[in-house]
Amino acid sequence: MADLHARTESDQTPAAAAPELTRRNFLSQGAAALAGVTAVAAAVSPLRHLSAEHVPNLDEFLQKHYKEMTAEDKQRVFARISQEVQQRHQVQARLSDPPPLDGVEYVYGLNLSRCIGCRKCVHACVEENNQSRSPEIQYIRVLEMEKGSIDLETADHHYDPASVPNPDKYYMPVQCHQCANPPCVKVCPVEATWQEPDGIVVIDYDWCIGCRYCEAACPYWARRFNFADPQIPSDKLNPNMAYLSNRPRERGVMEKCTFCLQRTRVGRMPACLEVCPTGSRKFGNVLDPNSEVAYILQHKRVFVLKEDVGTIPRFFYYFDERGGRYREPVASPDVGGEA
Amino acid sequence: MKKYLTFLWDCFRLSFVGDWRYHLWMTLLTVVTLAGLYAYCQQLVHGLVATGMTDQVSWGLYIANFTYLVGLAAAAAMLVIPVYVYRNLHLHDVVIFGELLAVAVILMCLLFVTVDLGRPDRFMHLFLRFNFPMSMLTWDVIALNGYLVLNLHICGYLIYCAYCGRQPSAVFYVPFVFVAIAWAVSIHTVTAFLYVGLGGRPFWNSAIIAPRFLASAFAAGPAFIILTLQIVRRYTSHQVSDDALLTLRRIVQVALLINLFLLVCELFTEFYTDSAHVASARYLYFGLGGQNALVPWIWTAVGMNVVATTCFMLPASRSLGTLNAACVLAIVAIWIEKGMGLIVPAFIPTPLGEIVEYTPTLHEVLICLGIWAFGLLVYTIFVRVSVPVLAGQITYENRRPREGARVP
Amino acid sequence: MTQPIGSAANRARAFWVPAVLFLCAAVLVLNPLPFVSPVVPASPIAAWVTDPTPVERPKLRPEYTVAVFDYRCSDCHRIIPSPAETDRRLTQHREIELVHGINTRCFNCHHRTNRDAFADDAGDEIPWDQPQRLCAKCHGPVYRDWQHGSHGRTNGYWDSAQGPQTRRKCIECHNPHRPTFRPMHPAPGPNTLRMGPQDHSAHAEVHDPLRLKRTAGHHGEPAAHQ
């Protein structure tokens, strides 16, 4: 019994406490409580550095999902975003919400025989879509591939020769393929990403909770997460913005290539295609039988990446070799010399 | 209702009572929890860039711990099977500790998921647009929260009945116990399916992941409980028979054997086939492209696993010293295997073949330690409260003397 | 039988708990683990990287620049007679380097008498602003691809109903005298967050997975499956 008491002094019930002990009890309990509260306050003290822009106001907190927003809701949201852009960059943003065009389904073609790996598309995309420069976010990744292999394990992402193309390699730019069976859409727990009728997979940046399940699910490593506050130089900000594509994002949400829907949904070419010097990029409406992409799908030997994963991408690669990549001749034919 | 509030208040007060070892333990856990809270506040201020995660390795230590703890939670409730299904009464008195551990561990799991979110302030979006049944994360949300509620009810009911001095009525907890058995298996299966269903990650896209999860969970969970029951036995008045520990040992034996067998299956399938899909496994076990940060970890884990399994199979592990050592080995080995050995390698190389290695930052580690400390804190409080209440020493009836009135 | 929870002995011992917590609070307030940002500032991108102008900036007019003056080709070539076909020396336009495969004859493309035009297969004129008809003489398949848009650049609008669509002509990308597309310096590669070392030069030997580069006498060690 005695040792039971000794072992179980924690199982005590309090007996009467003499008045002095009550005061001491009060003091010691008070001290402990105060110490606890102080320690917790100290632990959360870093929050004093949390800037106001990172704390959602009531409007942002109650903002609905894009698909449920009425026209007035959208106006309010666009006004808020424009105001934020004005405050942060002193630039007047033109925020639009172009709907998908009827009878249009986009397809992207990429001529691997023409891509020289110059990476101009990467940087044109960054400028057009207001991507963060530090930390660096780039939707497009150009792979330098070994000729004879389409195994992405052999790719070099960080090639930096004096000049491209290297005649022994070929170059494969990869970005979001806007798959017809997108695994990212399947896994999003809050439906923050979905596929629009024209094929583009979009993200509602104000709905995403940042769980990054979609980033794990994408077989093409096409989705990017804002781990830090995105930094965009104000003089490079593209003011022509769409809510679902290139309006500035905040940290903690996903983003990705949207086929420049702020341009393509009004009929323009995407930025990556515009800048490509060799014309290896082809874009258009596959439902139009007279489009460039319809011709390519019909006449070129197109293939997709990781077809076996079943994503049904709408980004088609093809080779168009005719004599192979030329190496410069050692001596030029003699024009201007003796006959 | 008043009785219930008194019960909660008594539990609250009781959790501050103990000898100096108890206070030391709780203070230590509180300090670590506060350090974790501090690091998390910094993460809230600066964003997830405070962690070591990148676009290439977008899930790291948080999800690794989450995966491990879901297994622990599942296994904790599996103590129930021998008692309720096989009527093995050795474990009857310790089932409650398994359930309480499940509650504490599920809380840790939910915390790990919360600290991993980029926008935790938007968690209520889950209630507004819930991509059920397509997204496995939604299944996981339902499974984990349901499991928490289930176990809270079972433990809470039993403890509250003891507090009120009445016999618990079987209909209010036995059916829930049986549901908890099935639910325990499902929470870990659903968590496994989170990873398995991704075709773009060949390291995960294998049918063996879910069985391996369960096998390693049923090894690590009961091993953890073997250790905690001995602590309960030593520091409280609750009796824990050696037979209970040995029954748990049997469970761990079988689970470890199955886990090792499944590991062999996985290694054979990967390395004998030697196809392009083996890149992540090759990175994990041998290094890839000169990068081999995880190689020492995984081989340590495999070694510890083999030693632990051998130990458990030998009669020498009937003695508590050897048993405890083997338990620690198993727990640590399975933590490495499931955490670093499962989550991180799936991201290396990336689907485009890039290799970017992952190192958790100090902030990340501190947050993980803080959550672990918090879980242990909660579990200690549970044990601290449940033992005297279940033993009948703290009841509603004898609360009046405890409120400072004079007693002879 | 039972002892008080709040016994003096217990309470006295527990005074160190608040002390420890206060100490913890003091340490935490002093920010013992400051956040050091791993984000590196971005290096600026040169203007040419995002410039969509085609690489060759041809005049698309039959002009030749001498010093600061732009002369129409026919200004001189009305007066100066052409040499005999067999005399292949160039006395003017010597800066032109003709590296066009087996096409080493100027008059394969240029009209013999009207230098403001090109020559088609029948010897008739092709206007200067339609170089594609000239190139099509020999490069039939490429020309067909170009007509359908799968070769060459199309800029502006993919939907010509909504805006102007510009099909770039051959010589906007290909220098007609040296048509191989000129190599260029690549724009900077990726430098993402916490990327780590990405030097692959040491592993160049693994980049032959299908062993296409086997040579005689070299038994070709099995390429590590990387």
Q: What is the pLDDT of residue C201?
A: 64
Of B19, B59, B237, the CB nearest to A212: B59
Reported as a single tens digit per residue, the pLDDT across A284-298 is 999 999 999 999 999
The shortest CB-CB distance from C203 to any of B42, B289, B354 is to B289
Could you check whether the bond before residue B349 is cis, i.e. omega within 30 degrees of 0?
A: yes
Task: Indicate if the pLDDT at residue C83 is higher than 50.
Answer: yes
Quick check: B290 and C203 CB within 8 A?
A: yes
- What local confidence, expressed as pLDDT, does residue A10 receive? 41
Of C35, C194, C203, the CB nearest to B363: C35
Q: Name which residue leads in pLDDT, A59 or B113.
A: B113
| Chain B residue whose CA is closest to C30 | B38
Residue A70 pLDDT level (bands cut at 50, 70, 90): very high
Chain B interface includes A179 (CB < 8 A): no
The predicted model gives B78-107 an average pLDDT of 81
The C-alpha atoms of residue B352 and residue A220 are separated, in whole angstroms, by 6
pLDDT tens for each residue of B312-353: 999 988 999 999 999 999 999 999 998 889 999 999 999 999
Q: Answer whether residue B372 shows pLDDT above 60.
A: yes
CA distance B208 to chain A (A): 19
A280 inside 8 A of chain C by CB: no
Q: How many CB atoms lie within 10 A of CB A267?
A: 19
B71 has a chain C CB within 8 A of its CB: no
Higher pLDDT, B407 or A302: A302
Enumerate neighbours of B (3 or more CB pairs within 8 A). Answer: A, C
**What pTM does this model have?**
0.91
- Is the separation of the CB atoms in A114 and A278 below 8 Å? yes
Q: Which residues of C155-191 are buried (b: 16+ CB within 10 A; e: fewer)?
A: bbbbbeeeeebebbbbbbbbbbbbbebebbebbbbbe
B49, B270, B278, B393: which to substitute to probe chain C, counting the most C Cβ within 10 Å? B49
Confidence at residue B181, expressed as pLDDT on a 0 to 100 scale: 87
Q: Is the peptide bond before A100 cis (omega within 30 degrees of 0)?
A: no
**Residue contacts between A and C (CB atoms, under 8 Å):** 259
Residue of C nearest to B28 (CA): C20
Question: How far apart (Å, rounded) are the C-alpha atoms in residues B64 and B57?
Answer: 12
CA distance B221 to B224: 5
Please give the Cα distance from B41 to B37 (Å, whole number): 6
Nearest Cα of chain C lies from the Cα of A27 at a distance, in angstroms, of 10
CB C5 to CB B13 under 8 A? Answer: yes
Cβ partners under 8 Å of residue C6, min gap 6: A14, A17, A21, A25
Residue A18 pLDDT > 60, yes or no? no
Architecture of domain A106-318: 2-Layer Sandwich (3.30)
pLDDT interval class at C81 (50, 70, 90): confident
Which pLDDT score is estimated for B75? Answer: 86
Q: Quick check: C225 and B357 CB within 8 A?
A: no
Range with the poorest average pLDDT among A154-163, B51-60, B366-375: A154-163
What digits encode the pLDDT tens for the residues B36-84? 999 999 999 999 999 999 999 999 999 999 999 999 998 887 777 777 7
pLDDT at B404: 46
Q: Is B202 exposed, middle or buried (0-12, 13-18, 19+ CB in 10 A)?
A: buried
Asked if the Cβ–Cβ distance from A279 to C39 is below 8 Å, we say no
Chain C CA closest to residue B401: C4
* C105/B142: higher pLDDT: B142
Q: Which CATH number fits domain B2-248+360-402: 3.10.620, 2.60.120, 1.20.1630, 2.130.10?
A: 1.20.1630
Token output for A238: 């593209």
pLDDT in tens, C175-214: 999 998 889 999 999 999 999 888 766 565 556 777 777 7
Instruction: Return the HEC string of chain B.
Output: CHHHHHHHHHHHHHCCCCCHHHHHHHHHHHHHHHHHHHHHHHHHHHCHHHCCCCCCCCCCHHHHHHHHHHHHHHHHHHHHHHHHHCCCHHHHHHHHHHHHHHHHHHHHHHHHHHHHCCCHHHCCHHHHCCCCCCCHHHHHHHHHHHHHHHHHHHHHHHHHHHHHCCCCCHHHCHHHHHHHHHHHHHHHHHHHHHHHCCCCCCCCCCCCHHHHHHHHHHHHHHHHHHHHHHHHHHHCCCCCCHHHHHHHHHHHHHHHHHHHHHHHHHHHHHHHHCCHHHHHHHHHHHCECCECCCHHHHHHHHHHHHHHHHHHHCHHHHCHHHHHHHHHHHHHHHHHHHHHHHHHHHHCCCCCCCCCCCCCCHHHHHHHHHHHHHHHHHHHHHHHHHHHHHCCCCCCCCHHHHCCCCCC
What average pLDDT does range B86-97 have in this prediction? 73
pLDDT at C223: 44
- DSSP helix/strand/coil, C88: coil
Q: How confident is the model at residue B402 (pLDDT cuts 50, 70, 90)?
A: low
CB-based contact (8 Å) between A215 and chain C? no
Asked if residue A174 lies in contact with residue B352, where contact means CB atoms within 8 angstroms, the answer is: yes
CB within 8 A of C172, min separation 6: which ones?
C54, C55, C56, C57, C58, C153
**Residues in CB range of A310: below 8 A, 6 or more apart:** A181, B199
Cis preceding linkage at A56, omega within 30: no
For the segment A95-116, the average pLDDT, to the nearest whole number, is 95
Reply yes or no on whether the pLDDT at A335 is more than 60. no
Residue A213's pLDDT band (cuts 50, 70, 90): very high
| pLDDT higher than threshold 70 for residue B167 | yes
**CB within 8 Å: A226 and B47:** yes
Domain spans, chain A:
56-96, 106-318
Residue B214 CA from chain centroid, whole number: 12
Residue in C5, C28, C193 closest to B54 by CB: C193
Mean pLDDT score of chain B: 91
Model pLDDT, residue C10: 52
Quick one: pLDDT at residue A324?
62
In this prediction, residues C140-158 reach a mean pLDDT of 92
- Is the CB of A225 less than 8 angstroms away from the CB of B197? no
Compute the average pLDDT of residues A70-92. 94
Q: Which residues of C touch B14 (CB under 8 A)?
A: 5
Q: Identify the pLDDT of residue C44.
A: 87
Whether residue A331 has pLDDT greater than 90: no
Mind telling me how many Å the CA of A43 is from chain C's nearest CA?
A: 6
Averaged pLDDT, C15-19: 86
CA–CA distance, A199 with B199 (Å, rounded to integer) = 21
Mark yes or no for CB contact A211/B117 under 8 Å: yes
**pLDDT for residue A330:** 45
Q: Please indicate if any CB of chain C lies within 8 Å of the CB of B38.
A: yes
Q: Could you report the predicted ipTM of this complex, rounded to two decimals? A: 0.92
Q: Which amino acid is at A263?
A: R
Residue B92 has a pLDDT of: 67
pLDDT in tens, B227-260: 999 998 888 888 888 888 888 899 999 999 999 9
Q: Does residue A339 have a pLDDT over 80?
A: no
Q: Do residue A156 and residue C212 have CB atoms under 8 angstroms apart?
A: no
pLDDT for res B308: 96
Rounded to whole angstroms, how far apart are CA atoms A305 and A155? 13
> Among all residues of chain C, which has the CA nearest to that of A9?
C3
Return the minimum-mean-pLDDT range out of A196-210, A255-269, A278-292, B152-166.
Answer: B152-166
Residue A132, SS3? Answer: coil
B399 touches chain C (CB under 8 A): no
Q: Identify all chain A residues contacting B18, using CB atoms and an 8 Å cutoff.
A: 10
For residue B405, the model assigns a pLDDT of 41
User: Quick one: closest CA in A to B350, which residue?
Assistant: A221
Can you tell me the distance from the alpha carbon of C184 to that of C173, in angstroms, rounded to the nearest whole number? 13
Tell whether the model's pLDDT for residue B112 goes beyond 70: yes
Q: Which single residue is written with the structure tokens 């005297």?
A: B388
pLDDT over threshold 90, residue C69: no
Q: Which tokens go with C88?
A: 């292949």
Q: Are B342 and B239 in contact (CB under 8 A)?
A: no
Look at residue A209 and tell me whether its pLDDT is greater than 70.
Answer: yes
Closest residue by Cα to residue B369 from B108, B194, B135: B108
Q: How confident is the model at residue A4 (pLDDT cuts 50, 70, 90)?
A: very low
What per-residue confidence (pLDDT) applies to B242? Answer: 87
Identify whether the C-beta of residue C177 lies closer than 8 Å to the C-beta of residue B337.
no
Nearest one of A282, A304, A307 to A295, comparing CA atoms: A282
Token pair, residue B258, equals 């199955």
A328 compared with A246, residue with greater pLDDT: A246
Per-residue pLDDT, averaged over A115-123, amounts to: 96
Are C37 and B38 an interchain contact pair (Cβ–Cβ within 8 Å)?
no
pLDDT at C220 over 60: no
To the nearest whole Å, the CA of B261 is away from the closest chain A CA by 28
Nearest to B177 by CA among B251, B245, B102: B102
Among B28, B44, B48, B122, pick the best mutation site for testing chain A contact (most A Cβ within 10 A).
B122
CB contact (8 A) between residue B352 and residue A141: yes
Distances in whole angstroms, Cα of residue A7 to Cα of each of A3, A10, C3: 6, 8, 12
A14 pLDDT exceeds 70?
no
